[in-house]
């Protein structure tokens, strides 16, 4: 990187994305073949599901910090109660319609919210970014492409993605792949 101020990547969502990209390579690098029928379809649905699950936690993280700024004198019990209430609110809005159960506080369990403020929103973005990167990398040399992509540096996220994979950050490729997977698996 010729300019020190641009060293790195746009934000932590990109480091999470790289972690996901490399995690997908682990078994292949150990010499295990993936001979699971419909493996790509199942993987496409799995990453969408993972993004859906962690997105709820990310929303709770953001809402919790907004609540905490509005209540700076809150004690630990009040914060816990607020997080549980927020978790139920998020669950009822985005998960109850899918699961048919209301007022579940399961998504409140992530301690990352307090230990690493506003880091959880990087996870769903990381899934979206890694999905696009992995699609782009198919048939290409991972090392060469990672070096090329990372040389873009710490520019705006969409500019980085456009230079790295040819399109801005978008959930559309993930949703399109899930649609194809569902149609294929329904046959």
> What is the predicted pLDDT for the residue at 2?
67
Q: Which residues contact 125 (CB under 8 A, 6 or more apart)?
A: 13, 16, 17, 169
The boundaries of the domain holding residue 42 are: 4-186
What is d(CA 156, CA 10) in angstroms, rounded to the nearest whole number? 6
Q: Note whether 180 and 41 are within 8 A (CB).
A: yes
Full-prediction pTM beyond 0.75? yes
Residue by residue, pLDDT tens for the chain (187 residues) are 667 777 778 888 988 999 999 888 777 777 776 677 898 999 999 999 999 999 999 999 999 999 999 999 999 999 999 999 999 999 999 999 999 999 999 999 887 788 888 899 999 999 999 999 999 999 999 889 988 998 888 888 999 999 999 999 999 999 999 999 999 999 8
Structurally, the chain folds into a number of domains equal to 1
Q: Which tokens hold the place of 119?
A: 């880091």
């Amino acid at each position: 990187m010729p300019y020190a101020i641009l060293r790195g990547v746009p934000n932590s969502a990109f480091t999470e994305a790289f972690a996901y990209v490399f995690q997908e390579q682990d078994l292949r690098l150990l010499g295990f073949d993936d001979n699971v029928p419909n493996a790509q379809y199942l993987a496409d649905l799995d990453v969408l599901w993972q993004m859906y699950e962690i997105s709820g936690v990310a929303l709770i993280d953001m809402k919790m910090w907004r609540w905490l700024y509005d209540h700076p004198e809150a004690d630990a019990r009040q914060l816990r109660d607020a997080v549980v209430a927020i978790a139920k609110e998020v669950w009822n809005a985005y998960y109850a319609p899918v699961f048919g159960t209301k007022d579940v506080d399961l998504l409140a369990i992530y301690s990352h919210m307090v230990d690493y403020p506003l880091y959880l929103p990087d996870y769903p973005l990381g899934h979206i970014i890694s999905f696009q990167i992995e699609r782009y990398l198919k048939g290409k040399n991972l090392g060469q492409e990672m070096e090329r992509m990372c040389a873009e540096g710490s520019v705006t996220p969409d500019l980085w993605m456009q230079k790295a994979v040819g399109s801005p950050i978008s959930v559309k490729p993930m949703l399109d792949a899930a649609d194809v997977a569902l149609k294929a698996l329904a046959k």
